[in-house]
Amino acid sequence: MPRWQASKNDGIVSYRLARQRTVQAFHEGRRTATEVCDAQPELRRVAHHHAAPLNEPCPICDADDLVSVTFAFGSGLPKGGRLVADLREMTRLRHRGKPTTCYSLEICRSCWWNHLRESYAISGDDLSSSAN
């Protein structure tokens, strides 16, 4: 995860176990590639234009490295979430003075595997730890 996306005070919730169960189900033949590689068109578009590299191979196809995209949810934000495309947007969200929760997904741009990776709440008073 790129460092600017979460700071250690943000109370990060990891979805690694759920992810691992899904990956395992695929490799054991209990889930198909069609089921687990189902990124929607909008998510694919975002993954092409606004993603951050994760430097980890795709657990499904192993043909590409994963990328990460982050969406922010909270009062005053779009129902479908606001894309956090860069540090400037993250800083703006941190300082808007409203509770905001960010959800980061990992995506493979070759097979379109996608899974929730982590979530974290950001508050409006976190200037020092959001600097990097």
**What are the residues binding Zn ion (CB under 5 A)?**
58, 60-61, 108, 110-111, 113
Residue/partner pairs of 122-129 with CB below 8 Å, 24 or more apart: 122/6, 122/10, 122/72, 122/90, 122/93, 122/94, 123/94, 123/99, 124/94, 124/95, 124/96, 124/97, 124/98, 126/7, 126/9, 126/10, 126/94, 127/94, 127/95, 129/7, 129/8, 129/9
Q: What six digits make up the tokens of 72?
A: 């922010």
Residue 18 or residue 63: which is nearer to Zn ion going by CB?
63
The CB-of-36 to Zn ion minimum distance in angstroms stands at 10
The CB-of-107 to Zn ion minimum distance in angstroms stands at 9
The CB-of-108 to Zn ion minimum distance in angstroms stands at 3
Residue 103 or residue 112: which is nearer to Zn ion going by CB?
112
The CB-of-67 to Zn ion minimum distance in angstroms stands at 11
Residue 52 or residue 60: which is nearer to Zn ion going by CB?
60
